[in-house]
């Protein structure tokens, strides 16, 4: 028996062999006699965790945290993964050749495993001695003791773990005294180089990439600064160990005087990446600096002066260096994602950047402009998956906003076709899966398909705030409130200054009858975005439920003044409060305005009648709602203003 000390996060060149099976950690494949075995990503992670810790009992809670680090799931999810894993390994009922259940505790892997390392840079030291070697590894706060007649293997690149039962395959060196000294020196060096443990509470290190300042006087090159930012955010977001603020959270700092420390504190991150970019002819100059928010000390800085065709290499270098400086343990998949290039066509890439630049404005003019640039990028490179995903994003939002002259149905269909094309080109595009999920959820009413696409998007990029946000909306409309709250809170953690995400969190609190929390949260949202009408609207609803009618009327009037909301929505809410407070004349005035429109909104009108206490009229108008799917279904089910009608049989039939 021996003690093996490995650099654990990521030994991507490691191959595990047991029975007829082989685990390729680089390609994330399980092979049986050379043939791939069908296994989900979670199933693979389950197997890899158990194999890495073979002979040990891996507790259920610990395994669930490893598999679902940012999600609260029930234990039956883990049970299902274990069942599927046993099936993939060919275990029959009652057999325990590989995985054994330890009742009340967890699972253990019992088969004999052989490890092979193909990395030429891995240092292998085996020594035979009658002495004991003790390595004091401070980062892991544990000691590994290699007793007499044991093999000691030291591998760089991750956190140390101690395993038993390793059979030596290394060459034997004959100078034990020299080797002991070498082993101790190397262990000491690796301890010094080892990544720092995660911060207290398991919180991942966080970073914000600020919009790069464009030093060109030519306004047509403004896209370069935000484009560089967007690309680096996309690359770093693929590293699961880092929490990265999305483009939507940092875009407001573009063109402004930047204080990295102040912005970092506002965004609640540990470090900030800032830089400048200047294009002159066929050359591009980039300067970049990574700053520690706590003490404002620079962690890393570098300047690049390259041909524009080398812009991809510059981005690869920056993202890799940021990960290294933040002491992140990269596995093979992470490194592949960091160096991944969607296109080698620089002109197509610049058109894509222009598309994202205008898309991030999220207004009618910007969205229309983004369509032109995404289309041009596709013309320049028909295999540019990210460009198809960008165009799908643009059409999805255009359809959702009902922007003219685009036909809503036709535009949703275009968005779907483009999302499918993007996935066909590159299945690992989280943005494309998210757009497809949105269309399936809110346009096609395909719950099963939407669920699959949302889960795939989040599996590919757990840092994608939009996917968490839209998935939360999907879940709450299906009555899955607890899961929905988990997703929207995760979205808010990733993008804490997003007005729309913060309002959605406020909505969930309101419909969950958590009015005090909703009021506190929405008031904070309005401090950040005072003109965001939706926040004023939901705040007014929450204040009404607390009986704070004067404040509710003030908030709803502010929401009604905005041109960004359907006026019937805040008007109806205002009419409802007027009715409750005895101002029936004002309530009926608003009711008359809504009834005089070409297409009266049954829900809005029914709500005012409910406030007036006219139950027959209220239910009569609610019965006129043509489609009770999605949002309207959720409102009928959860809106607290309708509680007085819920005991009526006719209202129950609406549900």
Q: For residue 107, give the CATH number of its domain.
A: 1.10.10.10
**Which neighbouring-strand residues pair with 162?**
5
Highest averaged pLDDT of the listed ranges 27-36, 121-130, 234-243, 589-598: 589-598
pLDDT tens-digit series, residues 282-328: 788 888 889 889 888 888 888 888 887 777 788 878 888 887 777 66
Say if residue 104 is in the same domain as residue 204: no
| Judgement on whether residues 83 and 210 belong to the same structural domain of the protein | no
Residue 600 has pLDDT above 90, yes or no: no
Residue 573 domain-assigned (yes or no): yes
Q: Give the pLDDT score at 201.
A: 42
Both 107 and 211 in a single domain? Answer: no
The answer to whether residue 544 is domain-embedded is: no
| Cα(303)–Cα(32) distance, integer angstroms | 49
**What is the average pLDDT across 181-194?**
34
In a domain, 186, yes or no: no
Co-location of 102 and 211 in the same domain: no
Residue 118 CB-density burial (10 A; 0-12 exposed, 13-18 middle, 19+ buried): exposed
Q: What is the mean pLDDT of residues 212-225?
A: 71
Q: Pick 494 or 280 by higher pLDDT.
A: 494
DSSP code at position 385 = H
pLDDT at 14: 76
- In this structure, the answer to whether residues 85 and 214 fall within a common structural domain is no
107 and 207 inside one domain = no
- The verdict on whether omega for the bond into residue 503 sits within 30 degrees of 0, i.e. cis, is no
Mean pLDDT of 67-76: 75
Query: Which domain does 250 fall in, by range?
Result: 200-341
- Provide the pairing of β-strand 21-24 with 35-36: unpaired
439-455 residue pLDDT tens: 999 889 899 999 999 99
Task: Clarify whether residues 208 and 334 are in a common domain.
Answer: yes
Q: What does the pLDDT read at residue 629?
A: 57
Cα torsion 498, 503, 504, 505 to 10°: value is 90
Q: How many other CB atoms are there within 10 angstroms of residue 302's CB atom?
A: 14
Provide the 3-class DSSP secondary structure of residue 319: helix
Residue 578 within a domain: yes
Domain end (from 54, 76, 111): 111
DSSP H/E element including 449: helix 447-460
How many residues comprise the chain? 655
Residue 415 belongs to some domain of the structure: no
Asked, for residue 381, whether it belongs to a domain, the answer is: no
Last residue of a domain, one of 272, 306, 341: 341
- When the pLDDT of each residue in the chain is averaged and rounded to a whole number, the result is 78
Task: Report the number of distinct structural domains present in the chain.
Answer: 3
Residues 107 and 208 in one domain: no
CA distance 268 to 287: 24
Has residue 75 been placed in a domain? yes
Boundary (domain end) residue, out of 312, 341, 370 = 341
648 falls within a domain: yes
| Structure confidence at residue 551 (pLDDT) | 95
- For position 216, which CATH number holds? 3.40.50.10610
| pLDDT tens, residue by residue, 624-644 | 887 655 567 778 888 899 888
Q: Is 108 helix (H, G, I), strand (E, B) or coil?
A: strand
Q: Indicate if the pLDDT at residue 575 is higher than 50.
A: yes
Supply the pLDDT for residue 414.
94
Helix (H, G, I), strand (E, B) or coil at 282: coil
579: Cβ–Cβ under 8 A, 6 or more apart, which residues? 587, 608, 611, 612, 613
Whole-number percent of the chain with pLDDT over 70: 80
pLDDT band at 13 (very low <50, low <70, confident <90, very high): low
Same domain, 226 and 101: no
pLDDT grade, residue 133 (50/70/90)?
very low
Q: For residue 24, what is the enclosing H or E element?
A: strand 21-24
């Amino acid at each position: 028996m021996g003690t093996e000390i490995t650099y654990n996060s990521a030994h991507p060149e490691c191959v595990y062999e047991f029975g007829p099976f082989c685990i390729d950690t680089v390609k994330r494949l399980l092979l049986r006699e050379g043939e791939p075995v069908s296994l989900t990503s979670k199933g693979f992670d389950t197997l890899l965790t158990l194999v890495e810790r073979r002979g040990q009992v891996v507790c259920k809670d610990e395994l669930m945290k490893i598999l679902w680090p940012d999600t609260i799931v029930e234990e039956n999810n883990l049970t299902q993964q274990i069942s599927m894993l046993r099936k993939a390994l060919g275990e029959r009922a009652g057999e325990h050749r590989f995985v054994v259940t330890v009742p009340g505790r967890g699972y253990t892997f019992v088969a004999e495993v052989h490890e092979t390392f193909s990395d030429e840079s891995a240092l292998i030291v085996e020594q035979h001695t009658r002495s004991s070697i003790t390595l004091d590894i401070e980062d892991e706060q544990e000691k590994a003791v290699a007793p007499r007649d044991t093999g000691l293997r030291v591998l760089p690149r991750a956190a140390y773990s101690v395993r038993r039962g390793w059979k030596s395959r290394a060459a034997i060196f004959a100078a034990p005294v020299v080797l002991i000294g070498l082993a101790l020196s190397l262990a000491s060096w690796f301890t010094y180089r080892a990544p720092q443990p995660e911060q207290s509470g398991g919180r991942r290190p966080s970073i914000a990439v600020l919009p790069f300042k464009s030093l060109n006087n030519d306004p047509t090159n403004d896209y370069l600064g935000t484009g560089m930012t967007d690309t680096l955010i996309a690359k770093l977001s693929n590293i699961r160990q880092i929490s990265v603020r999305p483009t939507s959270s940092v875009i407001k700092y573009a063109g402004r005087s930047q204080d990295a420390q102040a912005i970092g504190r506002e965004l609640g991150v540990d470090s900030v990446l800032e830089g400048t970019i200047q294009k002159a002819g066929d050359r591009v100059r980039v300067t970049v600096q990574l700053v520690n928010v706590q003490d404002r000390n620079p962690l890393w800085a570098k300047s690049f002066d390259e041909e524009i065709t080398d812009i991809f290499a510059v981005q690869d270098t920056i993202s890799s260096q940021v990960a290294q400086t933040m002491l992140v343990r990269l596995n093979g998949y992470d490194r592949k994602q960091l160096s991944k290039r969607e296109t080698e066509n620089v002109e197509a890439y610049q058109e894509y950047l222009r598309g994202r630049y205008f898309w991030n404005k999220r207004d009618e003019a910007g969205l229309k402009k983004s369509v032109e640039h995404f289309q041009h990028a596709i013309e320049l490179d028909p295999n540019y998956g990210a460009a198809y995903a960008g165009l799908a994003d643009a059409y999805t939002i255009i359809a959702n906003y009902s922007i003219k002259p685009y036909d809503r149905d036709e535009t949703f269909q275009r968005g779907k076709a483009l999302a499918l094309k993007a996935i066909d080109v590159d299945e690992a595009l989280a943005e494309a899966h998210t757009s497809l999920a949105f269309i399936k959820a809110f346009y096609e009413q395909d719950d099963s398909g939407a669920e699959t696409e949302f889960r795939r998007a989040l599996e590919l990029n757990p840092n994608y705030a939009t996917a968490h946000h839209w998935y939360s909306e999907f879940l709450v409309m299906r009555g899955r409130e607890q899961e929905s709250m988990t997703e929207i809170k995760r979205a808010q953690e990733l993008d804490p200054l997003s007005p729309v995400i913060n309002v959605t969190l406020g909505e969930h609190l309101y419909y969950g009858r958590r009015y005090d929390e909703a009021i506190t949260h929405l008031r904070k949202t309005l401090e950040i975005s005072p003109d965001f009408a939706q926040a004023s609207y939901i705040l007014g609803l929450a204040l009404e439920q607390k009986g704070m009618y004067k404040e509710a009327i003030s908030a709803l009037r502010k929401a009604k003044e905005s041109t960004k909301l359907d006026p019937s929505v805040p008007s109806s809410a205002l009419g409802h409060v007027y009715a409750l407070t005895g101002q029936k004349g004002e309530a009926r005035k608003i009711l008359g305005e809504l009834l005089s429109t070409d297409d009266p909104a049954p829900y809005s009108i029914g709500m005012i009648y409910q406030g007036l206490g006219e139950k027959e009229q209220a239910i009569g108008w609610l019965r006129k709602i043509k489609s009770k799917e999605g949002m309207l279904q959720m409102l009928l089910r959860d809106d607290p203003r309708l509680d007085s009608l819920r005991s009526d049989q006719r209202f129950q039939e609406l549900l």
